[in-house]
Amino acid sequence: MATATPSRAYPALVTRYWRLLFVAMLVLLHLTAMRGVEDFWARALMLAHFGLFILWQPFMRGEQRLTPLQLAAIVLVCVLVLFYWNWWLMLLWLCILAGVVGGKVFQFQERWQRYFHLTVLLYLVSLLLIWVFPQLLPGFTQPQDLQQLTEYGLPLLFLVLLVLPAEADNGETPQVVDFFYSAFLFMIIALLVLGSFAFMTLGKVSYPVALTYSLLLIAAILLLLGLTWNPRAGFAGLAMLFSRYLLSVGLPFEQWLYFLAELSQSEAQPERFLQQACAGLGKLPWVSGGSWRSSAYSGEFGQPSKTTVEYADRELQLRVYSRYNLSPALTWHFRLLGQLLGEFYTAKLREQKLQQQSYVQAVHETGARMTHNVKNLLQSLNVLCAAAQREGDGSGELQALMRRQLPVITQRLQQTLDKLRRPASDSGSEVQALEWWRGLRRSFAGQQIEFGQGEIGAEARLPRELFDSAADNLLQNALAKRRQQGDFAISVSFACGDGARLEVCDGGHAIAAQTANELLRGPVPSEGGFGIGLYQVARHAETCGYSLVLAQNVEGKVSFVLSGPLQSSFQNEKT
């Protein structure tokens, strides 16, 4: 069985029985006060009390090695206790101990732990005011009943400390002391003692009256501070002023934030933004210099110094040198500066990445549309080749088909080539609606497709690329579906009055519900492919102000409808 080393077992033993240790420390303090500061055994008991305090104290952990300065402080206290101990030092020690214990009362902890520390604070303040401080008053005689209360009544609080529930005393939670509350409570107790002494000396009043005056005066001051800290109406309160002071002490916070926002709008490159922001950081009065490092670049500004504050996140590492020693508030401000700079820099990186992704996406979508146009043209050429092999060289129908189809294929190939060479070119982007409809009917003549014509305005114009791509994809998909599922009717209807509307309907099986939900929103697997062509047409239609939808999806009737206004088609495609 493994055994713990003494360096590990010793702190664990102290933390496990810290309540008994603390009560023993108070018992030794009480015996020291009762015997008097001049008694030799009282000084020995006080030295033992200080040793138990070192074991209990929440400032240094048991495993920690003492520095030469800490060791010198301990030796100095021991020398004072053995050779120079008096009631003034006793009074000072009780104020310090009450401040340390009182600083633990205001923490968020279990109810019984709070009661425990309140009881200890009650004992320390009572011992100070009833027994120790009166020993310093000239000509003051302690009443007999009050002396007996101190000797035999106050120790009853030790029994209360021992019987209080220890529901959270697991020995694992480290002790934490709030320095602000401890210092505040220490000053309150010191003010109470000195105020009572001042009232007795200057006002020539008795000790109980002076103590009462001091308590009332301190209570009035605390009440006034409480009212001004968070008033009911009108004035914003000292809490707001204190918060504004903490947010602006030594730091023009609003100016720095405005500087970052303005620089973010004027500088698009992340690295140049970071370089100029760090240069602006070096202009603050208490900043002497610094250095920064990102994933790809690094730099320095100003002059280094001994006082540094570092901030690091996933994208930025920042080190700032200060001209002066920094308080905890200013250290927090430095890190807040770094966090703000890091957030702006990360936003710049994301903006750059989004621009690159948008460019790649635009190139991909343009190439995908061109690829599907070429694929549709290749299918038309395959139809012509199959017809040529079937009809022979001298067929009149073949020659008529060639005369109809070859000019159209040549024109669309030329448009695709122009689009690849000049993606922003507008040449051939619009076509007269009636002319386009006649060309579509000629292209798919002889394919057993029913064409239905509605109202078509004589001056109506369409985006050629969109309608050519939509018609080719929808009709080629319908023809491929008919070859797989058997003979069924395919119909195309077109109208262009107030708005353009193209509908392609087939009499095949209905599309599966899961596929229909994802169709036109992204690539989906199907019997003939992945639906990429329809997805590209739907995206192209959105950019032109049109919409492509699956209008009907029932057995024997599956129809797609491309519709939209006429007046904005060309402008939207140009944009």
Chain segment 99-116, per-residue pLDDT in tens = 888 877 776 567 778 888
pLDDT of 441-497, one tens digit each? 877 777 888 999 888 888 888 888 888 888 888 888 888 888 888 888 899 999 988
- Per the CB < 8 A criterion, the answer to whether 471 and 491 are in contact is no
Question: With contact defined as beta carbons under 8 Å apart, do 214 and 199 qualify?
Answer: yes
Per-residue confidence (pLDDT) for residue 144, from 0 to 100:
83
Distance, CA of 267 to CA of 274 (rounded, Å):
10
Q: What is the pLDDT of residue 195?
A: 92
Helix, strand, coil proportions of the chain in percent (round to 5)?
A: 60, 10, 25
pLDDT value of position 390: 64
* Distance of alpha carbon 139 from alpha carbon 284, whole angstroms: 60
Q: Tell me the pLDDT band of 269, cut-offs 50, 70 and 90.
A: confident
The pLDDT of 203-218, averaged and rounded, is 90
- Give me the phi and psi of 561, to 5 degrees please: -125, 125
Whole-number pLDDT of residue 28: 92
CA distance 36 to 133: 12
Given pLDDT bands bounded at 50, 70 and 90, which one contains residue 418? Answer: low
User: How far apart, in whole angstroms, are the C-alpha atoms of residue 81 and residue 52?
Assistant: 14
Q: How confident is the model at residue 31 (pLDDT cuts 50, 70, 90)?
A: very high
Ramachandran assignment for 496, one of left (phi > 0), alpha (psi -120 to 50 degrees), beta (any other): beta
Residues 519 and 531: their CA atoms lie apart, in Å, by 7
Q: Is the pLDDT of residue 214 over 90?
A: yes
In order of start, what are the domains of the chain with their CATH numbers? 6-168+175-229 (no CATH), 255-351 (no CATH), 361-574 (3.30.565.10)
pLDDT at 4: 37
pLDDT of 255 over the 90 cut:
no
Residue 247: pLDDT over 60: no
399 pLDDT exceeds 90?
no
Mean pLDDT, range 347-368, rounded to an integer: 71
Residue 256 pLDDT greater than 60, yes or no: yes
Residue 536, judged by CB atoms within 10 A of its CB (0-12, 13-18, 19+), counts as: buried
Q: Tell me the pLDDT of the chain averaged across its residues.
A: 78
The values of phi and psi at residue 554, to 5°, are: -125, 165
pLDDT score, position 58: 72
Q: What percent of the chain has pLDDT over 90?
A: 14
For the chain, the C-alpha Rg in angstroms (whole number) is 44
Question: Does 219 score more than 80 pLDDT?
Answer: yes
Distance, in Å, from the CA atom of 22 to the CA atom of 18, rounded to the nearest integer, reads: 6
Long-range CB pairs of 110-114, under 8 A, 24+ apart, other chains included: 110/167, 110/168, 112/164, 112/165, 112/166, 112/167, 112/168, 113/168, 113/169
Min mean pLDDT across 167-181, 386-400, 493-507, 526-540 is at: 167-181
DSSP state of 494: E
Quick one: pLDDT at residue 268? 82
Residues 236, 72: Cα–Cα separation, whole Å:
48
Quick one: pLDDT at residue 12?
47
Q: Which of 536, 470, 476, 529 is nearest to 506 (CA)?
A: 476
Is residue 160 classed as helix, strand or coil in its secondary structure? helix
Q: Which residue has the tokens 């200013």?
A: 330
Residue 8, pLDDT above cutoff 90: no
278-292, 320-334, 450-464 — which is least confidently predicted? Answer: 320-334
Question: Could you give the 3-state DSSP secondary structure of residue 451?
Answer: strand
Identity of the highest mean pLDDT range in 66-75, 353-362, 376-385: 66-75
